[in-house]
Amino acid sequence: MKTTEETTAGGGDVRLTGISKTYGDFTAVHPLDLTVPEGSFFALLGASGCGKTTTLRMIAGLEEPTAGTVHLGDQDVTALPPYKRPVNTVFQSYALFPHLDIYENVAFGLRRRGIKSVKKQVEEMLELVQLGEQARKKPHQLSGGQQQRVAVARALINHPKVLLLDEPLGALDLKLRRQMQLELKRIQTEVGITFVHVTHDQEEAMTMADCVAVMNAGRVEQLGTPADLYENPRTTFVANFLGTSNFIGAEVDSTSGDDIVLKAGGGKLVLHRARASAPATTGGKILAGVRPEKISLTHADDAGGIPEGRNRITGRITESSFIGVSTQFVVDSPVCPDFEVYVQNVDRDARLVPGAEVVLHWNPAHTFGLDAAQDVDAGVGTAEEEVA
Amino acid sequence: MAFVTWFKRNVVVIAGLLTLAYLLLPNVVVTVFSFNRPKGRFNYQWQEFSTDAWRDPCGVSGLCESLGLSLQIAFWATLGATLLGTMIAFALVRYRFRARGAVNSLIFLPMAMPEVVMAASLLTLFLNMGAELGFWTVLIAHIMFCLSFVVVAVKARVMSMDPRLEQAAQDLYAGPVQTFLRVTLPIAAPGIAAGALLAFALSFDDFIITNFNAGSTVTFPMFVWGSAQRGTPVQINVIGTAMFVVAVLLVLVSMAVGNRRKRQKA
Amino acid sequence: MATVTEAPPTPAPVAPEKKPPRKRGRWTPYLLLLPGLLWLVVFFALPVIYQASTSVQTGSLEEGYKVTWHFATYWDALSQYWPQFVRSVLYAASATVLCLLLGYPLAYLIAFRAGRWRNLIMILVIAPFFTSFLIRTLAWKTILADGGPVVGALDALHVLDVTAFLGWTAGDRVLATPLAVVCGLTYNFLPFMILPLYTSLERIDPRLHEAAGDLYAKPSTTFRKVTFPLSMPGVVSGTLLTFIPASGDYINSDLLGSTDTRMVGNVIQSQFLRILDYPTAAALSFILMAAILAVVTVYIRKSGTEDLV
């Protein structure tokens, strides 16, 4: 049985030190150090099999790390079994006890800790997740969204230092998922507990989390705020996994002050030195990336009107699809055969149809530079596979 | 033409109902003949209506004693087989261990063996050991052949159980013992109950193995067998009918209760 | 803000030597298995070995038996009782086929056509179990009685002429003929066919029937190409659960048959309990066991359903 000392010692930040997990020859998680600050909403994002769930389960104590330690605040909990850790989990597909009603499911943790009068707490918690009416129903009588809220209530009622969420919204349909994202965010703000959230859905991670760690093949590829990851991806995997990116293989032509001038397909592109995550030496290779929505599209006949100082590329439209708020174009250019461009439908130029010759241009500040020695397509499609 | 179409569409239903009739016909006969007043020792031919046997079900010497003994043996055999079988089922589903294949075969073989072979083998063992045949040898035999069936029933249930439920219990501060008592056992209960029910039915109705290993002890099926040779009292039919009716009523009542509870909750 | 760095590859990450004290339980499976398996070894496996040794012993009841590796007992038993062996296989096989033919429509009916009657029919299939099977088998004596309505109807329809010609019945009697024994066997083991069939049929998504119909399959084709193949696990375990006990049964032959319908079970029973010729009885039951294990093994291999347990 858990003692109160264990629950109160130290703060609520989670510290993983050199933690790793191997199964036979397979390394699920490579040694990693990670600190989740107290009170934050932290997301572990990655495709299935990237090690994110294993990491989560090591924090919960459901998986024993092969090496390394787990600290909650100042307390080393590596050797503690799950029932002695001040951590609770919202399981994938919820794992509600089918033989107990909603009330008893929520009261389960309190009762195991020997708390006698649970009525008031359970009722309050059911109110928080708006399920007061359903207390005496069995889990299978509830909808997916309601079951999900019971799972959250069952974990939160124990006032854990950290709440772990393992793909908590994976079983819900799209609309409900959006609703529950906001709901979870609201609850987190209300209770102020550290949330660690595992998901394969980049949109979910970006909407909810203060800080996202993108995982790939048992390693953390990059860690940062959602905006930081999106604007400054440091690997092609992150650039492709979060949204869409266009890549141009380029050669460093010269450097001048804060700018790096790149040579690609006969043209010149400018990259700000601060946004290059690979060293730039004259003559060296670099991958120049740019997001589709940063690009403007101008018909070749009007090319003269494009202001000076913008990066530009010529090409021919091969596909266009109208999706309401924007139109998405695919452009065949000498430097990249399928350049994606999203244009807001403000003033639609009727000449921009497949076959039209166009100039793509964007502010050099939106270019980011990556190490050229990586797979350009890393992370493409891995997110969608699972959603379907 | 319309009839032909109707017949074609419902031929499965008709064939199925005929099979059902075939299955139930003997029970109808047993029930009807429980109201017979036979001439002579055997109750195979209808003579005249009578409720004598129903008014005095224990009127034949040894009948109710054998029934009591069978119930007693079935109770203890069920208890023993369910306990041992449940333990094996949990070990098979939840743990990795050596010689799993051998263990599986040892559990499968008793089900794939004609009763007469097991009966004869066990008798050979008891004779070789010089054991006295009777209540205990019968109980040992019953636990042996019920065991495998319990394992199969419980295993199916435990296998379909989401392992995350137990992890959730551990996550919610339940230690290993609490997790087992509060989560694992209640969820596995229907499988264990099904296994126990099966064991009870198998033990209560067993004749061949019992007959080999009972010595001079007489269980209910042995009593029936004996009377088939010497003369069948009507009371046998009374007991057979009563058990059929009680079983159907019990099931119907439990179903009605279940339905009402479901409706109240919904 | 959170920080992340790959842990330095050297020196090797500090692997805690002391494993968390949660790895106990390595002996748990063995402790759980021990009592039950011990029971099966002592009261099932050991007897079979005793049986094997008894079958090669010679001696007499008065002087006791000794292992003399007298394999001739097997030969004598086979040459003396081969008709009973053949009969056992024939009767059991006939009963199994009949059970499949009778049981499939009922299992299909319960699985797909019964609607709200499903539970009631299920109860009616299982409930007869609670009336002792001996009492129910005795009821067949009444049903098939000489001159009774069933026999009378069969006689009037000249069915008995055909069956008598085939050697299944004798004269205008059904009782004390092979037909009565097979009928009793079929009746007794029918639920063991219906239940596994129902279990595997019930798992079939009814939309598959619609999909087959949508793809131009007639109902009969749907059954042959979709339903029946998907119910194969049920067919396999049902036929085994019927054939195995039927081949060793001696109750039906004893109650409904005559001396001309004696099966192996009858011989083993009388050798053991009346004649007290233990070596012959042991040899006979050993042969029966080996034959059945061989049949089961081949059958399971052929049908590709390994997970019957």
> Per-residue pLDDT for chain A (388 aa), expressed as one digit of tens each?
334 334 444 467 899 999 999 988 888 999 999 999 999 999 999 988 889 999 999 999 999 999 999 999 888 999 999 999 999 999 988 999 999 999 999 999 999 988 888 999 999 999 888 888 889 999 999 998 899 999 999 999 998 999 999 998 887 888 888 888 888 898 898 888 999 999 999 889 998 999 999 999 889 999 999 999 999 999 999 999 998 899 998 989 888 888 899 988 778 899 998 888 888 788 888 999 999 999 999 999 988 888 888 999 999 999 999 988 899 999 999 888 889 999 998 887 889 999 999 999 999 999 999 988 888 888 776 544 443 3
- Express each pLDDT in C105-124 by its tens digit: 999 999 998 888 888 899 88
Q: What is the amino acid identity at position B75? A: F
C-alpha span between A212 and A199 (Å, rounded): 10
- Give just the sign of the alpha carbon dihedral B127, B128, B131, B135: negative
Number of A/C CB contacts below 8 angstroms equals 59
Element (H, E) at A224: strand A219-224
- pLDDT recorded at residue C278: 85
CB crowding A46-79: b at 16 or more within 10 Å, else e: bbebbbbbbbbbbbbbbbebbbbbbbbbebebbb
Q: How far is B201 from chain C (nearest CA, A)?
A: 7
Backbone φ and ψ for A366, nearest 5 degrees, come out as -90, 0
CA distance C165 to A199: 75
pLDDT in tens, B238-258: 999 999 999 888 888 888 887
Measured distance CA(C45)–CA(C63) in Å, rounded:
27
Which chain C residues are closer than 8 Å to A36 by Cβ?
A: 2
Is the Cβ pair B183, A83 closer than 8 Å?
no
Of B116, B129, B149, which to mutate for an interface test with C (greatest number of C Cβ within 10 Å)?
Answer: B116
Interchain proximity C3–A35, CB inside 8 Å? yes
Contacts of A252 (CB under 8 A, 6+ apart): A260, A261, A262, A263, A280, A281, A282, A283, A284, A285, A286
Residue A7 identity (one-letter amino acid): T
Q: A95 to chain B nearest CA, in Å?
A: 5
Backbone angles phi, psi at B40, to 5 degrees: 80, -165
pLDDT value at position C298?
A: 86
What is the C-alpha to C-alpha distance for residues C74 and A229, in angstroms, rounded to an integer?
82
Structure tokens at A253: 């032509």
Q: Comparing C-alpha atoms, which of A298, A292, A294, A299 is closest to residue A341?
A: A292
Mutate to test the interface with C, among A13, A15, A33, A42 (most CBs of C within 10 A): A33
Q: Where are the domains of chain C?
A: 71-303
| CATH class of the region C71-303 | mainly alpha
Nearest to A213 among C4, C18, C21 (CB): C4
pLDDT of residue A117: 86
Q: What domains are there in chain A, each with its CATH number?
A: 4-231 (3.40.50.300), 236-387 (2.40.50.100)
Query: What is the per-residue pLDDT across C47-92, written as a single tens digit (0 to 9) for each?
Result: 998 888 888 888 777 777 777 788 888 898 889 999 999 999 999 9
Assembly ipTM = 0.88
Nearest CB among A93, A109, A137 relative to B265 is that of: A137
Dig out the tokens for B190 from the structure. 């229907």
Task: Give Dmax over CA atoms of chain B in angstroms.
Answer: 73
3-state secondary structure B237-253: HHHHHHHHHHHHHHHHH
**CB proximity list for B217: less than 8 A, separation 6 or greater:** B69, B133, B134, B135, B138
Structure tokens at C54: 């008894």
Q: Is A63 helix (H, G, I), strand (E, B) or coil?
A: coil
List chain C residues with CB under 8 Å of A223: 2-4
Which pLDDT score is estimated for C2?
Answer: 44
State the Cα–Cα distance between residues C307 and A366, nearest whole angstrom: 60
Residues of B in contact with C123 (CB under 8 A): 248, 251-252
**Token pair recorded at residue A306:** 């494009």
Inter-chain contact B266–A113, Cβ cutoff 8 Å? no
Q: Which residues of chain B have pLDDT under 70?
A: 1, 261-266
> CATH number of the domain at B64-232, please?
1.10.3720.10
C36:B84 CB<8 A: yes
Q: How far apart are CA A148 and CA A92, in angstroms?
A: 9
What is the dihedral angle through the alpha carbons of C83, C84, C88, C91, rounded to the nearest 10 degrees?
Answer: 60
Taking CB atoms and an 8 Å cutoff, what residues of chain A touch B179? 83
Q: How far is CA C231 from CA A101, B155, C234, in A?
A: 36, 22, 5
Tell me which long-range contacts B181-190 makes (C-beta under 8 A, separation of at least 24): B182/A108, B182/A112, B183/A97, B186/A99, B187/A97, B187/A98, B187/A99, B187/B157, B187/B161, B188/B86, B188/B154, B188/B157, B188/B158, B188/B161, B189/A99, B190/B157
